[in-house]
Chain A
Amino acid sequence: MSLPFLLFSGTAALAVGATVLRGRPSSSGWFSALGAILLAALVLYAPVDEPQELLGLPLKLEGQWQILGRSFVLDAHTRPMVSYLYLVAGFLFAGGWLARPGRYFNAVGLTMVGLLAAASSIEPFLFAAVFLELAAMAAVIILASSRFAEERGSLQLLVLYSLAMLVILFTGWLLENAGVTSITAELAGRTLLLLGLGFSILMLVPPFHFWLPTTSNGAHPYALALVALALQSSGLFFLLRFMDTYAWLRTLPGAFQFLRLAGEAMLVFGGLAALAQPRLSGMMAYALLADFGVSLLAVSLGTAEGYQLALGVSAARVVSLAVGALGASVIARDTGALDRASARGAAQRRPLATACVVVGALGLGGFPLTPGFPGRWALLAQAASAGLPVGAAVLGGTVLVCAAALNWGRNSLGGSVSPDRPSISPGERAFLSSALALSSVVGLFPQLSFPWVVAVLSGLTNLLP
């Protein structure tokens, strides 16, 4: 039996189970969360290619599954990445019972994570682009089936990912067959241009970010959080695998310069746009964009510490966005909308949920004592050699996003005190409090989680010698 086959079968079985339980959000959420975490543990710790004995029967779990001449490989390179994706999904599924993002959130979410796992484990890895496109299709269903059905941004996501797939497949052919390392500068330039386009789409570099704010206007915040986190994490892994595989890419200063410019632009543009948003969901979307920019800036350093930092920032983002989206979902349940007017007085009606939103948004902005801060601090220290623009972009983006979050928090304190405050169950109160506590712990003690997170990249031996 092979581990990839076991993983995909397990994911399919979980998705079927979540579909059966779709009428019971709590059961479905916990079932999916525990299942995803178990699969993450299986991928990470299962003994591969070693003879074992189970109930007296000999058993050998292979790390490779061949199908139609292509292989899914779970080895030292890919196992931590796949495990990370399942852990992120499991973490978000656990809060689904409170956020209630839709009947198919867990089932289709599991399918999407399975497809992203396939993208991370397929060999040759260039075909990951096809699985990323299939995962984008699942994302469209998650966004469109959520309680606040949204489809314009979802269609934009589908179109962009389709274009990225075509561009990356074609570039892959150029790299594999035309031997771009040894050919003309013209063809190398064309390859770089195509690669830049494909990865700009996957990493939401402006102007290819537009699906995110469009979707945020209509989609359920928690559904969008899962989609954005899973797709962006996979895109980052894909980029890092590309850089790990093609040594010539790492020797091109232009590639890192492009990443640096893109990261700076995302930070400043995301921060300014977050400040100008009339809706909470729009503000969170642009704060997320600015945070993605921090990851790109970290990658642009071109050092082992920079790559690790990019992943550390991504992991901190999972906590901040999940906490913020959870709070936003609870507030939206009362008001039906997340604009400035309907959010006024939210702090009086739903104090814990509002605290989650503000803490989550501050975390995305990198406010001190939140999960996003240590990554930015480390980036500033690393970026001392990279020059003033990097430091200015990090500081500027941080200030702008944090100002937007605090402004929204101030708005939620306004309005008249309503006598009929919505009731909150002890379970909901405990869960929201735990989310806030988790956010604080990750922000205060990053050393607890950082070493675990950066181990995800341990298989990329060319990037992290």
Chain B
Amino acid sequence: MNLTPYLPAVAAGLVAGLLILVESRSVRLALLAIQYLAVALLSALTLPLNVAMVKWVAGLMSCGILALTFSRLAGVPEAPIQEVVPAGRWFRLLAILLVGSAGLGLARTDWLGVPEVQPAANLGASLLMGLGLLQIGLSQARLRVGIGLMTLISGFEIAYSVVEPSLAVLALLGSIHIGLAMVISFLLTTAPALGPDRAP
């Protein structure tokens, strides 16, 4: 059994979990870039590699937009936000393990109803979608919600590239990531004092 395709799937899951745990903005940005690389490699299971790498380029552009925003916000103090869900580190770790286990279980079935999706891609998609939803559900902070959405959509894209491999869809979904980065940057810069996202 060839385990190589599973490497980016496992990496994607680990990085998505770390994105929920880590507080530092700059580390989260680096993790996001790695996650986009894993997504591109998983998409390359069905798309030509050079086409799949477009996803990484779009992801890097999103990371670049966020990096520029972080550099502008370097000295801005931020007030904490009252989260609805208790989000201590141990709680988050437990939630990640639970959702990760559910993702692993789901990946063993054809839960998407698309038999053409390879097992490794199914694993990566399940983990990213589950952990992306978890990230969105755990926090109301702009950056966390934004990264959660990017993770969720990335997971969906892995499966969707099997059923709809056209360039137009690739470009449209890439523009969603860039758009999300722009919106989150806008929200971070217009009301920085409202956000709970910690400085580096």
A170 within 8 Å of B (CB atoms): yes
Q: Any chain B CB within 8 A of the CB of A265? A: no
A-B interface pairs (CB < 8 A), number: 78
User: Residue A426 at the B interface, CB < 8 A?
Assistant: no
> What would 24 A/B residue contacts be, using CB atoms closer than 8 Å?
A68-B166, A69-B168, A70-B168, A127-B169, A127-B172, A137-B180, A137-B183, A140-B183, A140-B187, A145-B186, A151-B191, A155-B142, A155-B187, A158-B145, A158-B149, A158-B180, A158-B183, A165-B176, A169-B164, A170-B112, A173-B160, A174-B113, A178-B113, A190-B113
CB < 8 Å: which of A144, A158, A169 contacts B191? A144
Query: Given A137-B179, A159-B136, A159-B149, are A151 and B163 also a contact pair (CB < 8 Å)?
Result: no
Look across to chain A and name the residue whose beta carbon is closest to the beta carbon of B191. Answer: A149
Least CB distance, B191 to chain A, in whole angstroms: 6
B145 touches A144 (CB 8 A): no
- Nearest residue, chain A, Cβ from B172: A130
Q: Is the CB of A68 within 8 A of B149?
A: no
- Beyond the given A154-B187, A159-B136, A170-B112, could you list 8 further A-B residue pairs with CB under 8 A, ordered by the A residue number? A130-B175, A151-B187, A158-B145, A162-B152, A166-B152, A170-B156, A173-B160, A190-B113
If A68-B167, A130-B172, A173-B164 touch, whether A144 touches B113 (CB-CB below 8 Å) is no
How far in angstroms is the closest Cβ of chain A from B61?
15
Are A166 and B153 touching (Cβ within 8 A)? Answer: yes
- Distance A87 CA – B114 CA, assembled complex (angstroms): 42
Q: In the complex, what residues of B have CB within 8 A of residue A159's CB?
A: 136, 145, 149
| A133 CB within 8 Å of chain B | yes
A187 within 8 A of B: yes
Q: Is A290 an interface residue, CB under 8 A from the partner?
A: no
Find the A residue at minimum CB distance from B160.
Answer: A169
Roughly how many angstroms separate A144 CA and B195 CA in the complex, as a whole number?
13
Q: Which residues of A contact B156 (CB under 8 A)?
A: 166, 169-170
**Smallest CB-CB separation from B150: which chain A residue?**
A162
Q: How many residues of A contact B (CB 8 A)?
A: 31
Report A's interface with B, CB cutoff 8 A. Answer: 67-70, 127, 130, 133-134, 137, 140-141, 144-145, 149, 151-152, 154-155, 158-159, 162, 165-166, 169-170, 173-174, 177-178, 187, 190
CA distance A70 to B153 in the complex (A): 21
**A-B interface, 8 closest residue pairs, ranked by CB to CB distance from nearest:** A68-B168, A70-B168, A130-B172, A173-B163, A137-B179, A137-B183, A166-B156, A68-B167
The secondary structure that dominates the A interface is helix
Interface core residue of A133, A152, A187 (most chain B CB under 10 Å): A133
In the complex the two chains form, what is the Cα distance from A151 to B194 in whole Å? Answer: 9
* Separation of A177 and B115 alpha carbons in the complex (Å): 13
Q: Please, what's the 1-or-0 string for B159-199, where 1 marks a CB less than 8 Å from any CB in chain A?
A: 01001101111011101100110110011001100100000
B140 at interface, CB cutoff 8 A: yes
In the complex formed, the residue of B with least CB distance to A163 is B152
Cβ B167 vs Cβ A69 within 8 A: yes
Nearest CB to that of A115 among chain B residues? B179
Q: A130: nearest residue on chain B (CB-CB)? A: B172
Chain B residues positioned under 8 Å from A134 (CB to CB): 175-176, 179
Cβ < 8 Å to A, chain B residues 91-149:
112-114, 136, 140, 142, 145, 149
State whether A144 and B186 are in contact (beta carbons under 8 Å apart), knowing that A166-B152, A190-B113 are contacts in the complex: yes
Q: Is the CB of B163 within 8 A of A144?
A: no
Which residues from B are CB-within-8-Å of A68?
Answer: 166-168, 171
Known: A137-B183, A144-B186, A144-B190. A155 touches B152 (CB 8 A): no
CB neighbours (8 Å) of A165 from chain B are 176
A173 to B116, CA, bound (A): 13
Chain B residues, CB < 8 A from A170 = 112, 156, 160
Residue of A nearest to B159 (CB): A170
* B contact residues around A145 at 8 Å (CB): 186, 190
Asked whether A149 and B190 contact (CB < 8 A) given A133-B176, A134-B176, A155-B140, the answer is yes
Given contacts A134-B175, A159-B145, contact A177 B163 (CB under 8 A): yes
A10 CB, nearest partner CB in chain B, Å: 21
Chain B residues, Cβ within 8 Å of A158: 145, 149, 180, 183
- Residue of A145, A159, A177 most packed against chain B (CB within 10 A): A159
User: How many Å from the CB of B199 to the closest CB on chain A?
Assistant: 19
Chain B residues with CB under 8 A of A130: 172-173, 175-176
User: With the chains together, A187 CA to B112 CA distance in Å?
Assistant: 11
Give the complex CA separation of A151 and B187 in angstroms: 8
Least Cβ distance of A191 to chain B in Å? 10
Contact A155 B145 (CB under 8 A): yes
> Are A187 and B113 in touch, CB under 8 angstroms?
yes
Which residues in B have their C-beta under 8 angstroms from that of A155?
140, 142, 145, 187
CB atoms of B163 and A162 under 8 A apart? no
**A67 to B166 Cα, complex, angstroms:** 12
The interface residues of chain A lying within 8 Å CB-to-CB of B167 are 68-69
CB distance from B48 to the nearest CB of A (A): 16
In the assembled complex, how far is the CB of residue B127 from the closest CB belonging to chain A, in whole angstroms?
16
In the bound complex, residues from chain B placing their C-beta under 8 Å from that of A162 are 149, 152-153
Complex CA distance for A154 and B183, rounded to whole angstroms: 10
A402 CB, nearest partner CB in chain B, Å:
34
Q: How far is the CA of A317 from the CA of B68 in the complex (A)?
A: 41
CA distance A169 to B172 in the complex (A): 12
Can you name the residue of chain A whose Cβ is closest to the Cβ of B190? A144
**A187 CA to B190 CA in the complex, in Å?**
45
Chain B residue with the shortest CB-CB distance to A134: B179
Which residue of chain A has its CB nearest to the CB of B148?
A159
Contacts of B153 in A (CB 8 A): 162, 166
Establish whether residues B168 and A67, one from each chain, have CB atoms under 8 Å apart when the complex forms.
yes
Q: Considering the complex, give the chain A residue whose CB is closest to the CB of B169.
A: A127
Expressed in whole angstroms, the Cα–Cα distance for A130 and B156 within the complex equals 13
Least CB distance from B43 to A in Å reads 15
Residue among A68, A177, A187, A190 with most chain B CB within 10 A: A68
Task: Give Cα A141 to B179, complex, Å.
Answer: 11
